[in-house]
Amino acid sequence: MQPLVIQTENLPQACSDWLASRVDLHTCPADSPRFMELLPEAEALVIRTYTTVDEEMIRVGNKLKVIGRAGVGIDNIDLFCCKKNNIKVVHTPNANSEAVVEFVLSTMLPRLRPLHQTETPLVIDS
């Protein structure tokens, strides 16, 4: 029997498919009644930005072994309560590294080589 895992927010389809091939994956938001029905049997949660894992959720999910945060920050997870209940918390700390590099370069390039606006629009005759 595969472990029951709840995914509370959307992931790229390839990631969800990979996970579903290895566990009994259920996708439902944390504020749905179905989530509260599944939580007492869940061994893992896969969350992103908008799911908050608090003491109450951990109490109801008394079989939880791991909480995976698909993203950088883990401030939406009660780490103290997870540690107290022997729940491992994992995340993807370098998930947005490429986006940060793209942003920094896109803001630097105009300063390195300024583009000047012209007063009159360019008109090309055919």
Residue 123 lies in a domain: no
Look at residue 123 and tell me whether its pLDDT is greater than 90: no
Asked if residue 115 belongs to a domain, the reply is: no
- Is residue 78 included in any domain, yes or no? yes
Asked if residue 117 belongs to a domain, the reply is no
116 pLDDT exceeds 80? no
64-100 confidence digits (pLDDT tens): 999 999 988 899 999 999 999 999 999 988 877 888 8
48 burial class (0-12, 13-18, 19+ CB within 10 angstroms)? middle
Question: How many domains does one find in the chain?
Answer: 1
Q: What is the CATH number of the domain that holds 54?
A: 3.40.50.720
Please give the pLDDT value at position 118: 66
CA neighbor of 77 nearest in space, from 60, 95, 42, 52: 52
Residue 88, domain member (yes or no) = yes
- 77: in domain: yes
Write out pLDDT tens, residues 32-67: 999 999 999 999 999 999 999 999 999 999 999 999
d(CA 121, CA 118): 7
With respect to residue 116, please indicate whether it lies within any of the assigned structural domains.
no
